[in-house]
Structure 1
């Protein structure tokens, strides 16, 4: 699979797989508080394209940025890193 340029990648956990060929992936990141210098966990949810409906809830997946596939989908699941069950 050849790629054009550098595409963003994220690692997250699947929180929903109820849609057909789509999974909702929650990505956590740490942000340093500007005053207290304490790290705070922030999260974002991305809808990712899952062609084979292979990802299940709780799986750790690698998602990669892609062209817009629908109103909300701009990511594809490249691989399942760790399967929950």
Structure 2
């Protein structure tokens, strides 16, 4: 039987060697016919602690690793936008005092 592969977004990376991945799917409401979003969170194994919050990743179903972990991260599809940018405070302070 083939292993399931899902695509989701990392919502938490606070655990050691684990991430929480939120997978969203769209379904049609049975009575009203409107398309609605349903989501589920999975705990996935991340051996190198390489994935951060906001990353879009692919996860694959595996044998149980722990009580709640039965998925592992395959790869990153898109990096999150949480990139830190250093501000040059000295230049901003000098520019403000000249005016």
Q: Give the aligned partner of residue 13 of structure 2.
A: 17
Q: Give 2:4's match in structure 1, choosing from 5, 8, 16.
A: 8
2:17 is equivalent to residue 59 of structure 1 = no
**Which structure carries more relative contact order (alpha carbon 8 Å, separation 6+)?**
1
Contiguous gaps of at least 5 residues in structure 1? none
1:13 match: secondary structure: strand
TM-score (norm 2): 0.80
Greater share of strand: 1
Q: CA offset at residue 31 of structure 1?
A: 1.1
Distance 2:39 2:18 in 1: 19
TM-score (norm 1): 0.93
* Aligned residues: CA RMSD: 0.7
2:74 is equivalent to residue 78 of structure 1 = yes
What is the number of residues matched between the two proteins?
Answer: 81
Q: CA offset at residue 6 of structure 1?
A: 1.0
Greater Cα radius of gyration, structure 1 or 2:
2
Contiguous gaps of at least 5 residues in structure 2? 84-99
